[in-house]
Amino acid sequence: MSGRDADRKPAKTSKNAEAKGKANADHNLWHVLQWRAKSSQPSETERTMPLDVFERNRRSTHHRMDLTLPEPVQRILSDAQAHLSETLPWYQSLADEHKNTLNLVIETAVANFVDWQKDIESHPDTEGNPQPSTDHIFFIAPIEFTQVVSLRQALDVTRVIVDLLEGNVSAFAKPGHERQTHDAILYYAREVAFSAAEIYADTAEMRESRNVRIETFAMENLTNGVADGKVSSQMSLLGWPSSYRCFAIAGRLRPKSQLNSSAIASSIRRKVANLNGRCLVSDHNELTIVLIDPGEQCKPEDVCAALLHFFVDDTPVCVGPIRRDVQGACETIHAALTAYKVAPAATDILYSEGSVRPLLADDMLPERALVGDDFASDQLYREIYLRLQQHDPHHIMLTTLSTFFACGRSLELAATKLSVHPNTVRYRLKHSVEVSGWDPTNPREAFVLQVAIKIGQIREDGK
């Protein structure tokens, strides 16, 4: 293909092709150039390709050129590869396959420059020099290449190559045209840099868009209690390890428009990342759920404190318990959402603790159990009733607690009912606190104990 053909701008797509591109947005990560040559008809094999693979293959084929370069230019390229190893430490750490890809990008860029120079020289009388086409240079690399070589590193390579080309202008220029060739090198380098920046920016934007979709699917599955391998794979794609601690936050974000809701979610992600954690953010009805892995160095309470200002003042911000892995993520999300549902009944917690921000789901276990939260019922049964039962084989503590509650938490009445001295009741209650961690003389904690004992009695009777 001649330089003029390579530089000619392809015809734009029809409306149907654009609609097809939008319908395949999940695959089209590299739609940097928004046109398709009308003469390019896909083969049967190409019709089955994802759009991003087909488009990259078509563009690299459309711009394919003979990479047989003049011997002086080949010598410059060999020197460039050695120079990269000497001046750029990160280049040495690249895997061989990535080095080969980067070298091919460099060779393609130089070959394209030589081809462009020939085009200019073969049409000296043309009004306005032909413009170089540089977008296709990066299409020969796989999509993942932008994650291996950063934009800054790509620009570092561009600078090294430009320095070598400037130092060897005679290899490209005809006698007497050194100055024009030098200017052309600088102009071409600028075009390559702009193309690289555009491609990296669009790739980052498309990757973020893809990640948001995966994040939405993963959070929807977790919210619905799905904890299978599919969800684990989705979270792995988002950079989550196979094993992790996590907890959820549920609440209403400050009033926002559709335009900036994604910006707020990004701010939440950055805030958590600054605390050495990671998170997923998703909307659920009118609430926003944040699933957080605090990592090993970050404390959950520090994360909560850092995120509170994103939520509406004077409304509950509910925090689920710390759990592990995918199944635990389902549990903590469910706990946070149920806690928000029963938050209007948290008045006794407000009176005893003075604040409901954040409201811990573990502090709302009885209310959650009352609305059918099986996780809360299991936790009350396991952590209170069974624990008391294990330390009380003759059910003395359980009987004393039940009687104490039935008598309106009166020591004297309970002692009379049990035919023991009030000090005996007092001793048994104190021992129950040591075992369960809940104080039956405290109104709020007494309510938790009552619900736990009722759940235990129902379950034990059903065995």
How many CB atoms are closer than 10 A to CB 311?
A: 21
Residue type, 202: D
Reported residue count of the chain is 463
Tally of CA atoms within 13 A in the half-sphere of 11 that contains its CB: 8
Tell which residue, 82, 142, 80, 84, has the closest CA to residue 107.
80
- Does position 1 have pLDDT exceeding 50, yes or no? no
- Please give the DSSP secondary-structure letter assigned to residue 169: G
Q: Average pLDDT for residues 119-147, to the nearest whole number?
A: 68
Separation of alpha carbons 329 and 332, rounded Å: 5
pLDDT tens, 374-391? 999 999 999 999 999 998
- Does position 416 have pLDDT exceeding 60, yes or no? yes
- Does position 55 have pLDDT exceeding 50, yes or no? no
462 vs 86, residue with greater confidence? 86
How many CB atoms are closer than 10 A to CB 359?
A: 24
Chain centroid to Cα 248, Å, comes to 15
- Highest mean predicted confidence (pLDDT) among 82-86, 351-355, 414-418: 414-418
Are 405 and 439 in contact, with CB atoms under 8 Å apart?
no
- Does position 351 have pLDDT exceeding 60, yes or no? no
- Does position 444 have pLDDT exceeding 50, yes or no? yes
Are 241 and 285 in contact, with CB atoms under 8 Å apart?
no
Q: Average pLDDT for residues 62-72, to the nearest whole number?
A: 55
What pLDDT does residue 360 have? 93
What is the chain's mean pLDDT, rounded? 79
Residue type, 285: N
How many CB atoms are closer than 10 A to CB 289?
A: 24
438-444: long-range contacts (C-beta < 8 A, 24 or more apart)?
A: 438/384, 440/401, 440/404, 440/405, 440/409, 441/409, 442/352, 443/348, 443/352, 444/348, 444/349, 444/352
pLDDT tens, 217-252? 999 999 999 999 999 999 999 999 999 999 999 999
Separation of alpha carbons 234 and 151, rounded Å: 26
Separation of alpha carbons 108 and 313, rounded Å: 57
Chain centroid to Cα 166, Å, comes to 43
Classified as helix, coil or strand, 288 is strand
Among 56-60, 88-92, 179-183, 267-271, the range scoring the smallest mean pLDDT is 56-60
Helix 71-87, helix 96-122: angle, nearest 10? 140
Separation of alpha carbons 101 and 5, rounded Å: 25
pLDDT tens, 11-52? 334 444 444 444 343 333 323 323 233 333 344 433 433 444
Record the tokens describing residue 362, joined without a space.
């573990």
Chain centroid to Cα 219, Å, comes to 11
- Please give the DSSP secondary-structure letter assigned to residue 437: S
Show Cβ contacts of residue 71 under 8 Å, excluding neighbours closer than 6 positions.
Answer: none
What is the percent of the chain with per-residue pLDDT over 70, rounded to a whole number?
78
What pLDDT does residue 298 have? 79
What pLDDT does residue 59 have? 42
Record the tokens describing residue 136, joined without a space.
């296709």
Task: List the beta bridge partners of residue 360.
Answer: 319
Radius of gyration of the chain (CA): 34
Tell which residue, 100, 84, 99, has the closest CA to residue 158.
84
pLDDT tens, 249-288? 999 988 765 546 778 888 999 999 999 899 999 999 889 9
Q: DSSP strand E in 203-257: where?
A: 245-251
147 vs 103, residue with greater confidence? 103
Are 246 and 293 in contact, with CB atoms under 8 Å apart?
yes
For the chain, domains (ranges, CATH) are 3-202 (no CATH), 224-362 (3.30.70.2730), 373-461 (1.10.10.2840)
Separation of alpha carbons 282 and 233, rounded Å: 18
Classified as helix, coil or strand, 306 is helix
Tally of CA atoms within 13 A in the half-sphere of 411 that contains its CB: 12
How many CB atoms are closer than 10 A to CB 223?
A: 20
Record the tokens describing residue 6, joined without a space.
């390579």
